[in-house]
A and B are shown apart, each in its own frame.
Chain A
Amino acid sequence: MYLLRAHTYLGDDPSACINCHIMTPYYATWSHSSHGRDATCNDCHVPHSSLAAKYGFKAMDGLKHTAYFVTHSERQAIMAEDMSAEVIMNNCIRCHTQLNQEFVKTGRIDFMMAKAGEGKACWDCHRNVPHGGMNSLSGTPNTEGVTPLPPSPVPEWLQRLMD
Chain B
Amino acid sequence: MVVVFCLGLLVSSLMERRAEVVSVFNNKRTVFTDSIVAQNEKFKADYPREYNTWAMTEDTSFESMYNGSEAVDVLEQRPNMVILWAGYAFSRHYNTPRGHKHALDDMREILRTGSPGVNGQNDMQPATCWTCKGPDVPRMMREMGLANYYHARWSELGNEMMNTIGCSDCHDARTMELKPARPALYEAWERAGKDVNKATHQELRSLVCAQCHTEYYFVKGTDYLMFPQDKGMTCEDAEAYYDEIDFYDYIHPLSKTPILKAQHPGYEVALQGIHGQRGVSCADCHMPYMSEGGVKFTDHHIMSPLANIDRTCQTCHRQDAETLRQNVYDRQMKATEVRDRAEDELAKAHIEAKFAIDNGATEAEMKPIQDLLRKSQWRWDYAIASHGATFHAPQEVTRLLSHSVDYAQQARLLIAKVCAKHGYTGDIPLPDISTKAKAQQYIGLDMPTLETNKKEFLETVVPKWIEEAKANGKLIALN
Contact = CB atoms under 8 A, between A and B. Distances in A.
Interface string A72-92: 000111010000000000000
A25 B296 CA distance: 12
B294 A4 contact: no
B201 to A, nearest CB: 15
Contacts of B17: 20-21, 69
What range describes how many residues of B lie at the interface? 20 to 34
Contact of A70 (B13, B21, B290, B318): B13
A154 B318 contact: no
Contacts of B289: 76, 136, 138, 141
A76 B290 contact: yes
Contacts of A117: none
A152 B16 contact: yes
A160 to B, nearest CB: 12
B311 A76 contact: yes
Given A76-B290, A138-B296, A70 B14 contact: yes
B202 to A, nearest CB: 15
A16 interface: no
B310 interface: yes
13 contacts: A20-B18, A24-B294, A66-B14, A76-B289, A76-B308, A77-B314, A136-B311, A136-B314, A138-B315, A139-B315, A141-B296, A159-B12, A159-B16
- Decide if the interface of chain A is mainly helix, strand, loop or mixed: loop
B145 interface: no
Contact of A75 (B13, B14, B15, B310): B310
A19 interface: yes
Given A3-B11, A76-B310, 7 more contacts: A21-B18, A76-B308, A76-B314, A135-B315, A136-B291, A139-B315, A149-B18
Interface string A151-163: 0111000110010
Contacts of B310: 75-77
Contacts of A20: 14, 17-18
A154 B9 CA distance: 9
Nearest to A135: B315
A162 B289 CA distance: 27
A152 B288 contact: no
A141 to B, nearest CB: 4
A43 interface: no
A130 to B, nearest CB: 15
What range describes how many residues of A lie at the interface? 20 to 34
Contact of B15 (A24, A141, A142, A153): A153
Interface string A109-150: 000000000000000000000000001111101101000011
B317 to A, nearest CB: 9
Contacts of A75: 310
B296 A142 contact: yes
B147 interface: no
A4 B16 contact: no
Interface in A1-60: 3-4, 19-21, 24-25
Contacts of B16: 152, 154, 159, 162
A20 B19 CA distance: 9
Contacts of B315: 76-77, 135-136, 138-139
B10 interface: yes
B437 to A, nearest CB: 45
Interface string B289-319: 1110110100000000000101100111010
A9 to B, nearest CB: 13
Contact of B294 (A3, A19, A144): A144
